[in-house]
């Protein structure tokens, strides 16, 4: 059993060499180097507690343990030991840079499930080695990092998957919803002018963090901070609210929004919005508040307008007739069409008005039963077919960027912006200031050559 503690000199030498000669020129995924597509994949997991632990369990279950968990990495030594012992993983690291330096040549793929503020730099460091990558949502904590992840995946032709597991949920409700919409059940797709998405929940802390707290035993807080500017440790940084603090997340919209917004983008083949509006409470300097209503204005392919609404906290779609939705559901996606509406989430999909659609025949299935979100990714890796990953970074990146812009609008109290995805800029300098993060000394984001 091994916990690596390489020196910073070695790490600097590794990063400097990589930036000079191009790291992908001397690293290659193991499966491409000396394995057949039927061989076991060597996988590393970075961030093995919380969502990371759930991802590991799901991956093992979906693949019946057929792949090799070669290395685990976590900044908490206690979590690292517990998970490594549980899955009999020999190679253990607290710094992902040491993992990639020592095991990069042996790896095929990396699963990233750290906190949001380190997703981008870790995923891109792995992809710079030519490693296939699965990353929890949101892809990153900023627009710029999200775009870098998309560019790495596309330019290096890697198999990537975003952790929006609801798409591949065994019940198949998302697939059935896509089939109903595209078959014209609620009217022509181009006549769908509104989609309403909501999810009851919050990352707002019960009380504002004040002062500092002792760093827990086993936690390397400097590595936990990663590339973000230093701030004193507070126990709230590790609470359920951790996804809502600006330094480590952007709130419920980036935590839960991707799961539901993903369906709208897929079902309607949406392209980036041009206008974004945010209505809700005044911002807080430390965290994202809930009870927001966000509107992204898109266009269908034929130029017809399409508005995508998001509601969080305890807010729900507004202005919808009672017979056109089930307002008792705490989360869902509501497509409003010319001939009716369709509401869907993890455990249900329902057409409205109910009387009108009683006995409505389901269209012929287009999507087969899912093999599982993780297995879909790994099968794509073995086949060398990135397009088989339904939630690959190239697809998810644009809507993640639009979500991120809205979060920063709330942060800066800006109510309306024009969004230009080509330049990655809005017409608000206050918002633009937060679209690319500041990286503290000692942390270099890899360049995508």
pLDDT > 80? residue 17: no
For the record, the structure tokens of 311 come out as: 């509601």
CA dist 274 to 27, 158, 181, Å? 40, 29, 24
Residue 2 pLDDT level (bands cut at 50, 70, 90) = very low
DSSP codes joined into one string, 392-430 = -HHHHHHHHHHHHHHHHHHHHT--EEEEETTTTEES-HH
pLDDT per residue over 327-342, tens digit each? 999 999 999 999 999 9
Closest CA to 419 of 406, 407, 410, 430: 406
pLDDT per residue over 249-291, tens digit each? 999 999 999 999 999 999 999 999 999 999 999 999 999 999 9
pLDDT per residue over 201-238, tens digit each? 999 999 999 999 999 999 999 999 999 999 999 999 99
- Structural domains present in the chain: 2-166+377-391 (3.40.50.720), 168-204+249-361+402-432 (3.30.360)
pLDDT > 90? residue 33: no
pLDDT > 70? residue 48: yes
Residue 30 pLDDT level (bands cut at 50, 70, 90) = low
Q: What is the arrangement of strands in the sheet containing 416-420, beginning at the earlier edge strand?
A: 348-352, 341-345, 331-336, 194-199, 305-311, 293-299, 275-279, 416-420, 425-426
Element (H, E) at 162: strand 160-162
pTM of the complete model = 0.91
Q: What pLDDT is stored for residue 38 in this prediction? A: 57
Closest CA to 193 of 319, 376, 57, 6: 319
Residue 199 to residue 191: CA distance in whole angstroms: 25
Q: What pLDDT is stored for residue 37 in this prediction? A: 54
pLDDT per residue over 119-155, tens digit each? 999 999 999 999 999 999 999 999 999 999 999 999 9
Enumerate the H helices of 128-250 as residue ranges.
Answer: 143-155, 173-182, 221-225
Residue 220 to residue 77: CA distance in whole angstroms: 8
3-class SS of residue 369: coil
pLDDT per residue over 338-367, tens digit each? 999 999 998 899 999 999 999 999 999 999
pLDDT per residue over 149-195, tens digit each? 999 999 999 999 999 988 888 889 999 999 999 999 999 999 999 99
């Amino acid at each position: 059993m091994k916990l690596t503690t390489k020196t910073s000199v070695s790490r600097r030498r590794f990063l400097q060499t990589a930036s000079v000669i191009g790291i992908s020129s001397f690293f290659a995924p193991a499966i491409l180097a000396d394995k057949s597509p039927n061989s076991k994949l060597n996988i590393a997991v970075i961030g093995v507690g919380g969502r990371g632990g759930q991802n590991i369990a799901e991956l093992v279950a979906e693949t019946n343990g057929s792949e090799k968990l070669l290395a685990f990495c976590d900044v908490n030594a206690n979590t690292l030991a517990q998970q490594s012992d549980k899955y009999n993983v020999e190679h253990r690291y607290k710094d992902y840079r040491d993992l990639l330096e020592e095991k990069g040549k042996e790896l095929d793929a990396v699963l990233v499930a750290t906190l949001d503020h380190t997703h981008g730099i870790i995923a891109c460091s792995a992809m710079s080695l030519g490693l296939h990558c699965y990353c929890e949502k949101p892809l990153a904590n900023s627009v710029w990092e999200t775009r870098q992840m998309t560019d790495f995946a596309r330019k290096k032709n890697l198999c990537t998957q975003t952790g929006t597991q609801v798409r591949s949920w065994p019940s198949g409700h998302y697939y059935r919803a896509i089939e109903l919409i595209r078959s014209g059940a609620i009217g022509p797709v181009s006549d769908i002018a509104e989609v309403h998405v909501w999810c009851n929940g919050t990352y707002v802390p019960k009380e504002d963090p004040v002062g500092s707290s002792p760093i827990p035993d086993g936690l390397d807080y400097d590595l936990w901070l990663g590339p973000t500017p230093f701030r004193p440790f507070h126990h709230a940084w590790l609470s359920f609210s951790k996804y809502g603090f600006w330094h480590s997340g952007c709130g419920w919209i980036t935590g839960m929004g991707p799961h539901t917004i993903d369906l709208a983008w897929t079902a309607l083949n949406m392209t980036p919005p041009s206008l974004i509006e945010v209505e809700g409470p005044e911002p807080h300097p430390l965290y994202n508040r809930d009870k927001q209503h966000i509107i992204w204005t898109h266009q269908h392919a034929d130029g017809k307008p399409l508005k995508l609404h998001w509601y969080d906290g305890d807010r729900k779609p507004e202005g919808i007739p009672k017979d056109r939705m089930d307002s008792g559901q705490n989360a869902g996606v509501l497509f409003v069409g010319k001939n009716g509406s369709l509401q869907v989430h993890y455990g249900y999909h329902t057409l409205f008005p109910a009387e009108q659609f009683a006995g409505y025949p389901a269209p012929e299935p287009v999507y087969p039963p899912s093999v599982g979100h993780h297995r879909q990714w790994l099968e794509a890796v073995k086949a060398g077919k990135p397009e088989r990953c339904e939630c690959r970074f190239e697809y998810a990146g644009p809507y993640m960027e639009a979500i991120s812009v809205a979060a920063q609008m709330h942060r800066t109290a800006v109510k309306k912006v024009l969004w230009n995805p080509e330049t990655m800029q809005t017409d608000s300098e206050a918002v633009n200031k937060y679209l690319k993060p500041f990286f503290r000394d000692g942390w270099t984001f890899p360049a995508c050559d």
